[in-house]
């Protein structure tokens, strides 16, 4: 038996989300149908607002409502350090720790020859421009995930930055190999930053 078209379309829409298969999408679709109409309107307005009102910071690449983002605009932050992360959600994870007060740079991915992602496909060029125009930066902390792609990206970036006489460090492996920063607790992240090493 086929679902009515509106349900089938809703299931297809949910299946476009990462990690959502047909069974989960079907459950979500029927849950949505059972929601109050006002809740569905608010949900759809939140989706539209997030898509319409958010942009990437022209300085660091983080997701923001205003350009530059609140972190880049904060002159009280330590201008001598930049943590390089893979995704905007990694910035949120590190900020929850409340121990790091420097700046960020978001790559929006990692080098992955298998997926056809080279240096031009991630936000590396703007990092290099940023370092050229900001003599206050004395350390770049590479906080890509502890995956083969994350490690390759870290090594590639370190080789590009090292000639500029800027210290390049890597988060200590207090993070489990193969894990994502997004899922690490605050103490693990704190220890990882504390134990970073030059590469």
Domains of the chain (ranges plus CATH)?
5-52 (1.10.8.420), 78-198 (3.40.1360.10)
Predicted local distance difference test score (pLDDT) of residue 1: 67
CA distance 32 to 27: 9
Q: pTM for this structure?
A: 0.79
Question: Tell me, what's the pLDDT at 174?
Answer: 67
Element (H, E) at 64: strand 63-64
Nearest to 113 by CA among 121, 105, 104: 121
In angstroms, rounded to a whole number, what is the distance separating the alpha carbons of residues 118 and 192? 27
Tens-level pLDDT at each residue, the chain (199 residues): 689 999 999 999 999 999 999 999 999 999 999 999 999 999 999 999 999 999 999 999 999 999 999 999 999 999 999 999 999 999 999 999 899 999 999 999 999 989 999 999 999 999 999 999 988 999 999 999 988 899 999 999 999 998 888 999 998 766 676 778 888 878 778 777 877 777 7
Per-residue confidence (pLDDT) for residue 193, from 0 to 100: 82
Measure the CA–CA gap between 160 and 152, rounded to whole angstroms: 13
pLDDT at 188: 76
Question: So what's the pLDDT on residue 199?
Answer: 77
CA dihedral over 179, 182, 185, 186, signed as positive or negative: positive
∠110-165-159 over CA atoms, to 5°? 30
């Amino acid at each position: 038996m086929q679902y009515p078209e509106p349900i089938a379309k809703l299931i297809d829409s949910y299946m476009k989300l990462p990690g959502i298969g047909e069974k989960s999408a079907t459950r979500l679709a029927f849950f949505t149908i059972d929601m109050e109409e006002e809740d569905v309107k608010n949900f759809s307005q939140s989706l539209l607002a997030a898509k319409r009102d958010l942009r990437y910071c022209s300085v660091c690449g983080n997701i923001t409502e205003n350009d530059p983002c609140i972190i880049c605009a904060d002159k009280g932050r330590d201008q001598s350090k930049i943590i390089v992360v893979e995704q905007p959600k990694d910035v949120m994870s590190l900020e929850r720790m409340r121990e790091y007060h420097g700046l960020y740079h978001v790559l929006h991915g990692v080098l992955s020859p298998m997926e056809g992602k080279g240096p031009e496909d991630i936000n590396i060029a703007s990092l290099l421009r940023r370092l050229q125009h900001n003599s206050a930066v004395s350390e770049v902390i590479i906080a890509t995930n502890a995956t083969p792609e994350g490690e390759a990206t870290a090594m590639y970036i370190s080789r590009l930055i090292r000639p500029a006489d800027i210290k390049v460090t890597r988060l200590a492996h207090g993070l489990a190999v193969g894990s994502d920063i997004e899922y690490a607790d605050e103490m693990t992240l704190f220890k990882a930053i504390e134990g970073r090493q030059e590469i």
